[in-house]
Amino acid sequence: MFFYSLSSPSVTNGCFGVIYQSIYQVCYQYQLLYMSEKFFNVITNMLKERQLSISSISRELKSEGYDQHRLIITGYLRALYDTGYLVEQEIPPSKVYSYNHRGQETDIYRILENSLKDVDPGYRYPVAVYILTSLLNRPCFRYELSLVGITPKTSSYVRESRNERIKEFREDISRFDVPEGDKAYEMNGHDAGVILHSSDVINGIMKNLLDLTGLKSRYQQSTLEYDQ
């Protein structure tokens, strides 16, 4: 849990400063624990193409039906800044916030889109479905496939999902809105080729995300040799 301490002498000095910081910290923790993801989406979408001050953000939130105290909003913005979602800048007399596009480059869909570019085109679609359904433990929607640059097409490896919980799966996704009636897809059995290509993709992602300095061999080897 993060804590944000106010540093202005005019605020932090004396009894009032102690009380103010205590209230601020309580509010700050409240945002991290209880604010809904819909609220998160409203703020991040608001800041994706522009910079706004806290006052401007408060006004726009109020128009969206979120009439929160300024302390609540300030603490929540700071939390989003601390966790890398927002960029914070001092433009006197205010702080302004904008969406941290560069910081979100590790979004799973963006990572997978970049990794799929090296996959054999004949396997790209089923590999995308295999990885997404394995990671998310549910069928993947057409909209999600579009996020990784894939358009569903006829494939012997993939079928349209008829899972009776499709509506529930759609409603459980709170990070974005899946269009009503959007089709979902799942694997049509297990194919060694799809699994092999998927393993290569996941292996490549792991190598890119993890710091393996001091662990990898300096010598290139295409296959591992085992004692019989």
Mean pLDDT estimate for the chain: 80
> Following CA atoms 62, 68, 73, 75 in sequence, which dihedral angle do they give, to the nearest 10 degrees?
-170
Highest mean pLDDT among 22-36, 118-132, 211-225: 118-132
Dihedral (CA of 172, 173, 177, 180) sign? negative
**Residue 26 pLDDT > 80:** no
pLDDT at residue 202, rounded to an integer: 93
pLDDT at residue 115, rounded to an integer: 92
> Following CA atoms 6, 9, 12, 15 in sequence, which dihedral angle do they give, to the nearest 10 degrees?
-170
Q: Which amino acid is present at 144?
A: E
- One DSSP character per residue, 104-140 reads GTT-HHHHHHHHHTTS-HHHHHHHHHHHHHHHHTSPE
